[in-house]
Amino acid sequence: MTFLAAAVQMASKSDKRANLERAERLIRLAAARGAQFVALPETFNWRGKRADEPAAAETLEGESLALMARLARELQIHLLAGSIAESAAGQEKRYNTSVLLGPDGARLAVYRKFHLFDVDLPGRVTIKESDAKTPGTEIVVAATAIGKIGMSVCYDLRFPELYRRLVFAGAQILAIPSAFTFPTGEAHWETLLRARAIENQCYVIAPAQFGPNVHGFSDYGNSLIVDPWGRVLARAPDQEGVIVAPLDFDYLERVRRELPALTHGRLG
């Protein structure tokens, strides 16, 4: 089986309506180019000051995911709503939540970001995501008509044990919607994505945010689609847009058959 997948690159700001309009335009562009699976970046619907986040957060029934469900249904695509700030009943903090929707608009999977980005790079980037977010607790692989999709978000990329759990649960595609900072992205983004693809013999879809953001630093962009041999199939330029590449599951199975490293592990 072969089909086209798309990664959407965005520069989301604090105007939610404008972000959703751009996301819709780019999703429609991806579908027009033949993509059956379209993935949006982390925090695609809103990126603003932390003090404003409680008001911008939504439940899974909120306007952002309702729009995504309508688009998935209308365009008959699998759609990964990269992530939103999800309001959690009875909790002061929110989840960073990624949602996979099917061609009928139904929710196929919900993943709440496992690893929170608490980092201090003096003079460059200081972020403490855990001040505002609660980590998720469930590892999620979604069985779909286009294959098994292992879900993750951004900083999760640095934790290979998560992806090994995903592939042992059957994942063939690793979804990594992100908003990687420029300093860490320039140093590690492509290397880590290609490593996760190679060591797990999976396709990797990594839609990303790019450009200056409201937090005072820049996001790296360079959204990628990587094949199970670690080859970059598509890379986004420094602008909002869509990249598309074919995912060939016969090829994936051939890689796993000819280099059966996933069956040779002796630890954990």
The predicted-structure confidence for 9-59, as pLDDT tens digits, reads as follows 999 999 999 999 999 999 999 999 999 999 999 999 999 988 899 999 999
Residues in Cβ contact with 54 at an 8 Å cutoff, skipping those fewer than 6 apart: 87, 94
CA torsion 120→83→170→180, rounded to 10°?
-30
Q: How far apart are CA 49 and CA 55, in angstroms?
A: 11
Q: Is 212 helix (H, G, I), strand (E, B) or coil?
A: strand
Q: 17 in a domain, yes or no?
A: yes
pTM of the shown model: 0.95
Q: Which of these, 5, 15, 263, 262, lies nearest to 147 by C-alpha position?
A: 5
Q: 268 in a domain, yes or no?
A: no
Catalytic residue selected from 42, 53, 58, 129: 42
Using alpha carbons, list the distances in angstroms from residue 185 to 6, 66, 93, 189, 222. 20, 31, 27, 4, 9
Q: 11 in a domain, yes or no?
A: yes
Which position has the higher pLDDT, 178 or 88? 178
Residue 97 confidence (pLDDT): 98
Catalytic residue selected from 16, 129, 133, 154: 154
Across the chain, what does the average pLDDT equal? 94
How many other C-beta atoms can be found within 10 angstroms of the C-beta atom of residue 70?
13
Average pLDDT over residues 80-94: 91
Q: 249-260: per-residue pLDDT in tens?
A: 999 999 999 999
Q: With 0-12 CB in 10 A as exposed, 13-18 as middle and 19+ as buried, what is 144?
A: middle
The beta strands (E) that lie in 183-263 are given as: 203-206, 210-212, 218-220, 224-226, 232-235, 241-248
Residue 16 a catalytic site member = no
Residue 1 confidence (pLDDT): 87
CATH number at residue 256: 3.60.110.10
Residue 146 confidence (pLDDT): 97
DSSP string, 112-169: E-SS--EEEETTTEEEEGGGTB-------EEEETTEEEEE--GGGGG-HHHHHHHHHT
Q: How far apart are CA 135 and CA 226, in angstroms?
A: 27
Here the tokens at position 149 are: 């999709």
Residue 5 confidence (pLDDT): 98
Average pLDDT over residues 125-153: 89
Radius of gyration of the CA atoms of the chain, in A:
17
* Domain count across the chain: 1
Q: How far apart are CA 264 and CA 241, in angstroms?
A: 40
| pLDDT classification of 125: cutoffs 50, 70, 90 | low
Q: 239 in a domain, yes or no?
A: yes
Q: How far apart are CA 156 and CA 107, in angstroms?
A: 22
Residue 113 a catalytic site member = yes
pLDDT at 137 over 80: yes
Q: 117 in a domain, yes or no?
A: yes
| pLDDT classification of 247: cutoffs 50, 70, 90 | very high
What percent of the chain is predicted at pLDDT more than 90?
Answer: 85
Catalytic residue selected from 16, 58, 86, 113: 113
Q: 195-223: per-residue pLDDT in tens?
A: 999 999 999 999 999 998 887 789 999 99
Which range marks the domain in which residue 118 is found? Answer: 2-263
Average pLDDT over residues 94-104: 97
Residue 154 a catalytic site member = yes
Residue 268 confidence (pLDDT): 66
pLDDT at 75 over 90: yes
Q: 162 in a domain, yes or no?
A: yes
Average pLDDT over residues 74-97: 94
